[in-house]
A and B are shown apart, each in its own frame.
Chain A
Amino acid sequence: DVKVTQSSRYLVKRTGEKVFLECVQDMDHENMFWYRQDPGLGLRLIYFSYDVKMKEKGDIPEGYSVSREKKERFSLILESASTNQTSMYLCASSPETGATDTQYFGPGTRLTVL
């Protein structure tokens, strides 16, 4: 079974703090994704990585950065957390890029910024 893990299920941070969300997958997938999920909006793509050290902006990259130093690990960084970044963050991975390829998700991190 594909396993995608995220470092924290729940996280509470203060405005202005630097926040790291870690994601690890164990299936040697090329592609990794970070989404945020908000009620009524579904999932929105923040960043995408198709290889080590490669990244591309998704739909809502502002206020976020990412790092992929190893194939299995994809980190989402909030340089200076703000209250409007309170959300559920979901990491996903997929083996290849194509219309047929399923993304596999981690359990999510519910981040609250006070």
Chain B
Amino acid sequence: AQKITQTQPGMFVQEKEAVTLDCTYDTSDPSYGLFWYKQPSSGEMIFLIYQGSYDQQNATEGRYSLNFQKARKSANLVISASQLGDSAMYFCAMREAGKTSYDKVIFGPGTSLSVIP
């Protein structure tokens, strides 16, 4: 079963506008971490933001914020004031603690974001 769902294969946003990229996850483990990565056309995966399952507040990093709704198992990424350089693939990922000999990270299928001038 898909553990990370990103329902938007592609999205467009006007430069300087805010955009929300959706992510829902599935886990029965009370301890987990949620990550967002950006992958520009150059290919490198760039870590953007992290949210722990026990964190009380939503994570923020500059123009990135994570809208964490634990009961809905939702971890949407909000990018404020979009820039042309934000055009990239965005991946949501989850790491569950302690289930196996290593803490496996599961990635979603990604959302392609295009910022329009």
CA distance A48 to B100 in the complex (A): 12
Q: Is A79 an interface residue (CB 8 A)?
A: no
CA distance A9 to B44 in the complex (A): 10
Q: Is B103 an interface residue (CB 8 A)?
A: yes
Q: Is A83 an interface residue (CB 8 A)?
A: no
Contact at A99–B44, with CB atoms within 8 Å? no
Q: Is A17 an interface residue (CB 8 A)?
A: no
Q: Is A64 an interface residue (CB 8 A)?
A: no
Contact at B33–A100, with CB atoms within 8 Å? yes
Contact at A43–B107, with CB atoms within 8 Å? yes
From A20-28, A66-74, A105-113, give the one contacting chain B. Answer: A105-113
With A42-B4, A106-B44, A107-B43 already in contact, the answer to whether A100 and B109 are too (CB < 8 A) is no
With A41-B109, A42-B4, A102-B50 already in contact, the answer to whether A107 and B31 are too (CB < 8 A) is no
Q: Is B57 an interface residue (CB 8 A)?
A: no
Contact at A99–B104, with CB atoms within 8 Å? no
- Which of A98, A107, A108 makes the CB contact (< 8 A) with B97? A98
Contact at A97–B109, with CB atoms within 8 Å? no
CA distance A43 to B110 in the complex (A): 9
Contact at A31–B43, with CB atoms within 8 Å? no
Binding site for A on B (CB under 8 A): 4, 9, 31-33, 35, 37, 42-47, 50, 52-53, 91, 93, 95-97, 101-105, 107-110
